Chains A and B, each alone.
Chain A
Amino acid sequence: MNILVVYLLLLKATLTSFSGLASLPMVRNDFVVRYHVLSDRQLNTAVAAGRVGPGPLGIYVVSVGYLVAGIRGACAGWLAMITPAFLIIPMICFLGSRAEHRRAKAVTRAVLLAGAGLLASASAPLARDAVTGPLSLIIVVASLVLIALTRVDSLWIMLGAAVVGLLAFQL
């Protein structure tokens, strides 16, 4: 498949969705149903690879690009993933100068607080998958306490969790 077509199809999917995996139906429709260059099993592999690795869930489009057209396809998928992100800059330029108003500040603070509620809400389904026993529950609680009550660098918390995971496997 032509690399430009891969990019444009993936860009169409990312530009018309507003969260990581929301582009999946369009990707499936184009690559699996319409052009037959990807199987459902491969699409599942791409989604799983995106979920297992670090970074946003939307990164699965890189994997889709790779499965369709190799490394060049992965590059096309990566470009399609990052292109819409820069649309936020003109939005900031337009709204930024108006952000100092008292009511505007009250609105942005409310949005920030909504973000806290949404973070807690988004963590619930992840917790169902992540908490599989006492050890993972201890890791969740320890991470929460370290983040909320101390100034320990997040990197050490992640590395500590990784070491605990490795030790748990060896034991």
Chain B
Amino acid sequence: MPQARLDEITRLFFRVGTTVFGGGNTAIAVLQREFDRRGWLGPEKFALSFGLARLTPGTNFLAFCAATGWYLQGIGGAIVAVLGTTIPASVLVVWLTQAGEVGNGYPWARSVIAALLAAGVGTMLGAAVLLVRSQCSSKKWLRPVVIAVGSFILARTVGLSPLSVIGIAAAAGFFWTES
């Protein structure tokens, strides 16, 4: 697995912090794909980061960044991942607050943001497909598909919280192991 350099980690997280709209889930989807593209993080470490981030207080996405940064380059990686993601976005949010306070409306910006949000939704759905596909093979596809679809139904239809869904999936994974 290629070793990620600190400057490469900084660039990736900075980019995600400035260009990905639609919240933490979209950003995780983008990061998952970029890790996969670069061969930086295996599915086990990604899954552990994702699961533990849900159990960490505060913004789950930032805990996810800290975890993946930690896996890539230790404490330095964790720090640059969190700073790279949050500093540019924080500067922008202050600017947006100022703009909102003085009542400025920018229709062109709204049009761009609407397009970015649509792309964010497509990215999330695409990443969900990629995640399931990464765990499937021609012979072993039933367990991944059942767990992913079941999680979707539990969250969307039954209305369980993400933490509960992850807990149920973890229990299913514990008792339903692959041969």
Contacts and interface: CB of A to CB of B under 8 A. Distances in A.
Interface of A: 14-20, 42, 45-46, 48-60, 62-63, 66-67, 71, 74, 77-78, 81-89, 91-92, 95-96, 99, 102-103, 105-124, 126-127, 129-132, 135-137, 139-148, 151, 153-155, 157-162, 164-166, 168-170
B2 interface: no
A63 to B, nearest CB: 4
A161 B126 CA distance: 15
Contacts of A108: 43-44, 47-48, 51, 173
A11 to B, nearest CB: 9
B165 A58 contact: no
A131 B15 CA distance: 25
> Interface SS of chain B: helix, strand, loop or mixed?
helix
Contacts, number: 394
Contacts of B25: 118-119, 122-123
29 contacts: A15-B57, A17-B57, A18-B54, A19-B162, A49-B100, A55-B92, A55-B93, A56-B89, A84-B58, A85-B65, A89-B75, A109-B144, A112-B47, A113-B147, A115-B51, A117-B154, A118-B151, A118-B165, A120-B156, A122-B25, A122-B155, A123-B125, A132-B114, A140-B118, A148-B133, A154-B33, A158-B19, A166-B111, A169-B108
Contacts of A157: 119, 122-123
Size category, B interface: 35 or more
Interface in B31-47: 33-34, 37, 43-47
Given A49-B93, A140-B121, A140-B122, A110 B113 contact: no
A81 to B, nearest CB: 6
B173 A111 contact: yes
Given A88-B67, A102-B177, A119-B25, A112 B46 contact: yes
Nearest to B62: A85
B166 interface: yes
Contacts of B34: 153-154
Interface string B49-89: 11111111111111111110011000100100011011111
A24 B60 CA distance: 15
